[in-house]
Structure 1
Amino acid sequence: MIRIRVGEAQLRALVTAHDRRWLDKARLRTAEYRRQGRYVEGSEFWGDIKQVYIELQHEKCAYCESRLAGHALASKVHEVEHFRPKSRVSAWPPATGKGAVGFLPPCAVGRASTRGYYLLAYHPLNYVIACTRCNSTLKADFFPVRGKRSTRASTPRSARAEDPLLVYPLGTLDTDPARILRFDGVLAVPRRTRGGDHERARVTIEFFQLNHQDLTSRRARLLGALWLSLRAVQLPGLPDDLRQLQQQSIAYAQSDRAEFAACARDFVALHGADRERADALGSLALQLAAG
C-alpha cells in the first residue's frame, strides 16, 4: 500500500474536468440523503468518475497494489470502493465459523450500524479503486474504528475522531501507509512494535490478507528480479548501457506506477542498510519464485 498523491482541490478539479456536472449532481444527491436521514438506493453515478481514480492509482488496487487490467477493461475489473460504507456497517466478523477472517483485533473495532455513512456516499475523498478481492470479498461493508462511530459526518475530515483502523491511502487525510506498514522481504509487517500505529498496521494487514500466498508469490518474483538488478549494477566492468538499464529497472520498481512499489522501496532501502540481510531475502525470493 502506498500513498496516492493528490490534494482535495486537485481531485475536485480532475473530477470536474472528467465530468463537469458530477460535483453538482453529487451535492443534490447528498442533500436528498440528508432530508431522508439515510442512504436511499437509486440510479447511482459514482462509476462515472471511475477513470479519474484509475489514472491517479496507475491502474492498481489501493490496498494490495495489484495491477488491474487497464483502461480497456476498466468497467469489468476496477471497482469504486467506498472507504466508509454508504448504507450500513457490519459488525467485525468472527474469528472462526461463517464469515471468519481468522483474526481477533488487538483493540476495540466499533459497533455495527444500520445507517452507514450516508452523507459520504458521493464525497470524492471517500473513494478509491480496488480489486474485487479487496473490495467485494474482504472490505464489503466493514469499517472498524477505535472511537465513537460518526455516521452523520458530512465530510471525511469531520469523521477523523472515529480513529479508523484501516488506512485510507488517497491524499493526505490519513497517514502515509509507509509510516505504519513495511515489508520484510515479501511479507507486510507493522513498522512499530506497539501502540496505535502497530494496531492499525496489524488490522490492515490481516483484514486485507496482505500476506496471502497469491500476493507473496508475486512479490517474490518482483524481489528476485530486483535483487539481481541490484547485484548487477555493482559488477565491475559492466558496460555503461547495461548498468543504466539495470538502474532504470530499479527506479521503476520503486515508482508509484509499479506493482508492489512499497515492497520494492523497502527492499532497496534494506539493500543499502543491511546487505547481508537483503542478499538472504533476495535469494529466498528467487527460490520462492522458482518453486
Structure 2
Amino acid sequence: MIRIETETDVLYAAIAAHRPSWLARAKSRKAMYRRTGRYVEGQDFWGEIKDIYIELQHEKCAYCETRLAGRELSSKVHEVEHFRPKSRVKTWPPATGKGAVGFVPPCRLGRASRRGYYLLAYHPLNYVIACTRCNSTLKADYFPVRRARSTRAAHPDTAMAEDPLLIYPLGHLDVDPASLIRFAGVLAVPRHDRGRDFERALVTIAFFQLNHQDLCSRRARLIGALWLSLRTRDTPGLPALLIQYHQQAVDAAQAAAGEFAACARDFVALHATDPALADQLGEAAAAMSW
C-alpha cells in the first residue's frame, strides 16, 4: 500500500471537469440522506467518477497494489470502494467466511452499526478503487475502529475521531501507509513494534490479507527481477548504457505506477543499507519465481 498523491482541491476540480453536475447531485443526495437518517438505495452514480480514481491510482488496487486492467474494462475489474461502509457495519473479524477468521485484534474494537456512514456515501474522500478481492470479498461491510463510531459524520475529517484501524491511502487525510507498514522481502510487516501505529499496521495487514500466498508469489517475481537489476547495475566495469538500462528498471519498480511499489521501495532501501541481507532475500525471491 502506498499513498495515492492528490490534494483535495485538485480532486474536486478533476471531478467537476469530468462530470460538471456530479458534486451538486452528490450534495443533494447527501441532504436527502440527512433527512431520512440513513442510506437509501436508489439510482447511485458514484461510478460516474470512477475514471478519476483509476487515473490517480495508476490502475492499481488501493490496498494490495495489484495492477488492474485498463479503463476500457473498468466496469468489470475496478470497483468503487466506500472506505467507510455506507449502509451498515458488521462485526470484524468475522466468525466464518473469507476474512481474517481466527485473527485476534490487538485492541478493543468499536461495535457494529445498522446505520453505516450514510452521510459519506457521496463524499469524494470516502472513495478509492479496489480489486474485487479486497473490496467485495474482504472489505465488504467491515470497518474496525477503536472508539465509538461516528456514523453521523458529514466529513471524513470528523470521522477520524473514531480512531480507525484501517489506513486510508488517498491524499493526506490519513498518514502515509509507508510510515506504518514496511516490507521484509515479500512480507508486509508493521514498521513499529508496539503502540497505536503497530496495531493499525497489524490490523490492516490481516484485514486485507496482504501476506496471502498469491500476493507473496507475485512480489517474489518483482524482487527477483529487481535484485538482478541492482546486482547487474553495480557490476564493476559495466558499460554506461547497461547501467542506465538497469537503473531505469529500478526506478520504474519504485514509481507510483509500479505494481507493488511499496515492496520495491523497501527492497531498494535495504539493498543500500544492508546489501548482504538484500542478496539473501533477492536470491530466495529469484528462486521462488523461477
Quickly name the TM-score band, shorter chain normalised: over 0.9
**Structure-to-structure mapping, 1:45-194, within 5 angstroms:** 45-94=45-94, 96-98=95-97, 101=100, 102-194=102-194
Aligned: 1:39 with 2:36: no
Q: Percent identity?
A: 67
Partner of 2:271: 271
Any gaps of 5 or more consecutive residues in structure 1?
A: none
Equivalents in 2 of 1:274, 1:235: separation in Å?
A: 17
Query: Which residue identity does 1:47 align to in structure 2?
Result: G
Query: Which residue identity does 2:155 align to in structure 1?
Result: T
**CA separation of 1:100 and 1:4: change in aligned 2, threshold 3 A:** closer
Partner of 1:218: 218
Question: What is the deviation of 1:14?
Answer: 0.7
Aligned: 1:246 with 2:233: no
TM-score, normalization by structure 2: 0.98
**CA separation of 1:246 and 1:165: change in aligned 2, threshold 3 A:** same
Instruction: Report the number of matched residues.
Output: 289
Cα offsets for 1:37-85 (capped at 9, x unmatched): 1000000000000000000000000000000011110111000000000
Question: What is the deviation of 1:99?
Answer: 5.6
**CA separation of 1:241 and 1:8: change in aligned 2, threshold 3 A:** same
Equivalents in 2 of 1:12, 1:97: separation in Å?
A: 39
Cα offsets for 1:75-133 (capped at 9, x unmatched): 11000000000000001134x54565231111122100000000000000000000000
Query: Which residue identity does 1:26 align to in structure 2?
Result: A
TM-score, normalization by structure 1: 0.98
Equivalents in 2 of 1:109, 1:219: separation in Å?
A: 31
Partner of 1:9: 9
CA contact (8 A) 1:93 1:99 kept: no
Aligned: 1:195 with 2:184: no
Equivalents in 1 of 2:81, 2:152: separation in Å?
A: 19
Question: What is the deviation of 1:288?
Answer: 1.0
Equivalents in 2 of 1:106, 1:259: separation in Å?
A: 30
CA contact (8 A) 1:150 1:162 kept: yes
Query: Which residue identity does 2:161 align to in structure 1?
Result: A
Cα offsets for 1:145-195 (capped at 9, x unmatched): 001100000000011110000000000000000000000000000000000
Any gaps of 5 or more consecutive residues in structure 2?
A: none
Equivalents in 2 of 1:156, 1:289: separation in Å?
A: 41
